[in-house]
Amino acid sequence: MKSKMTIKNTLLKAMPTLMLTSLLSACGGGSDTATDPKPDTGTPITPLITIDDEFGFWLTDLANNHILPSYQNLQDTSALLSSQAVDFCDQQNQSSDELTALQQSWRKVMSSWQTIQWLKVGPIVNDNRIFRMHYWPDSKDSVGRGVTNLLTTSELVTEAFIATQSVGSQGLPALEQLIFADNQHSLLTASDQAKRCEVLTAISANVATISQDVNSEWQIIGGNYHAQLTQGTGDFSSKKDAVEELVTNWLEQIERVKDEKMLVPLSVASPGIPSIAEHVLSDESVISIQKNIATFKVIYSAGGGHGFDDILIDHLSQQNIATEMLTAIDNAIVSANELTGSYETLLKTPEGRVQISATIDVLRAVRDVLTVDFVQATDINIGFNSNDGD
C-alpha cells in the first residue's frame, strides 16, 4: 500500500489541473482577446486534504507498519513452536536444554501476541479466535480444568479434537501449563509424559492454524481485511469509524494493562496476588506489560509513519496536545522498563510495589490525555466505558 508521502503526492498531482482551471476562469473561460486580463501566476493552488484523508493515512500506515507485520510474526513464531513441539516429542529421551529451547520458543510466540493483543477487530474476533488464542483473565481456572480434562481423556487428542474443546484448552495459556509445569508434571519426568506430548503437539498445531488463518485473512492477496480497515468499508461505516474502533481498542488495552495486569495483582498490601497475574508459571508478566506499553507508541505514531502526531500538529495545529500525548506515552514506557526481575518479587517488596504503582499512575496519565484532550482535538468518539472507578 502507499506510504503517507506517496498518498499525499498522489493528491498533489491534481495541482496542474486545478491551476489550469483557475487560470481559465481568470481569463473569462479561455478567450484569446487582447482585452482579457493576464492570469495570476502567483502562489499555486494546493489540493485540500481533509481530516478523513488524514485518518486514511494513519490507518494505512498502521496496517502496513504494525498490524500486518505483527500477524506475520505471530504466524511465523507459532509455526516454529508447533514444529519444535513435534521434534521434542518424537525423541526418546529429551534433555533439559531441549525443554528450555521449547520454553524459549513459547516465549517468542507470547511476545508476538502481546504486541498485537490490543487489536480486537477483524479476523481475530471471528470464530472466537481471540479467546482460543489467549484466554485470560481466568478467574474460574478454565485453562487448568481444560488441560486436566485433555490429559485424562481416553480419546486421541488431535488438532481437530482441540478445536472442539473449551477456549481455555486451546491456546497459549494451556501451552504454558504444559511447557512450564513443575518437576512432578514436567514434560521430561511426568508419568503421563506421552499423553502430555500428545496434548502439547495438538494445542501447538491449533495455535499455529489460528495464527495462519488470521494472518491470511488480513493479507491483501488473501482475505484483504486490510482494505476494509484502511478504506473504512465492510465492518466499518467510514474511515473515521475505523479510527474510532481502533482508538477504543487502544483505550481498552490501556485499562487492561493498568487494572488486570497490574492493579489487581498488586492488591492492597504485600505480597499482592501473584497467582492471578497473566503469566504465573513462565513469569513473563513484566515482559508482557512492557511489550503492551511499548506498542502504545507504535499505535500513536502508526509505526513511524503518518501518526496522530502528524495529524495533531500539521492538520489540526495542536502542538501542545501532541506533545502532551507523546510525553505521557514515553513516561509510561520508561516507567515500565524500570520493572525488572520476577513479578512475584516486585509484588511483595516495598520497592517493587512502588515501581508498579508508579507505572499504574503514568498509565492513568496516558488514559486521561487520550480520553479528554486527544478525542476533543480529533473529534472522535470512543465506545469504551471505564468502570474501574479510579
- Check which CATH number belongs to the domain holding 96 and give it: 1.20.1420.20
Q: For residue 233, count other CB atoms closer than 10 A to its CB.
A: 14
Cα–Cα distance for residue pair 243/381, rounded to 1 Å: 9
Q: Is residue 206 part of a domain?
A: yes
Does residue 35 sit in the same domain as residue 65?
no
Residue 132 in any domain: the answer is yes
Indicate the residue among 193, 228, 263 that finishes a domain. Answer: 228
Tens-level pLDDT at each residue, the chain (390 residues): 444 444 444 443 343 333 333 333 334 444 343 344 445 555 555 568 999 999 999 999 999 999 999 999 999 999 999 999 999 999 988 999 999 999 999 999 999 999 999 999 999 999 999 999 999 999 999 999 999 999 999 999 999 999 999 999 999 999 999 999 998 999 999 999 999 999 999 999 999 999 999 999 999 998 999 999 999 999 999 999 999 999 999 999 999 999 999 999 999 999 999 999 999 999 999 999 999 999 999 999 999 999 999 999 999 999 999 999 999 999 999 999 999 999 999 999 999 999 999 999 999 999 999 999 999 999 999 985 543 434
pLDDT at 45: 56
390 is a domain residue = no
Which burial class, exposed, middle or buried, applies to 355 when counting CB atoms under 10 A from its CB (0-12, 13-18, 19+)?
Answer: middle
User: What local confidence, expressed as pLDDT, does residue 272 receive?
Assistant: 97
Q: Residue 45 gets which letter from DSSP?
A: P
Whether residue 296 sits in one domain with residue 259:
yes
Domain for residue 389, yes or no?
A: no
Handedness of CA 298, 301, 307, 312 (dihedral sign): positive
For residue 160, is it within any domain?
Answer: yes
* Helix, strand, coil tally for the chain in percent (to 5): 70, 0, 30
Q: Is residue 388 part of a domain?
A: no
Give the domain-ending residue among 166, 199, 228. 228
Total of domains in the chain: 3
Domain identity same for 328 and 202: no
- Whether 244 and 158 share a structural domain: no
In a domain, 367, yes or no: yes
What is the residue whose three cell numbers read 482475505?
223
Q: Are residues 1 and 32 in the same domain?
A: yes
Report pTM.
0.87
Q: Which of 180, 199, 228 is a domain's end point?
A: 228
384 falls within a domain? no
72-108 as b/e: b if 16+ CB within 10 A:
ebbbbbbbebbebbeebbeeeebeeebbeebeebbbb
Regarding whether 245 and 316 lie in a shared domain, the answer is yes
Range of the domain at 301: 237-378
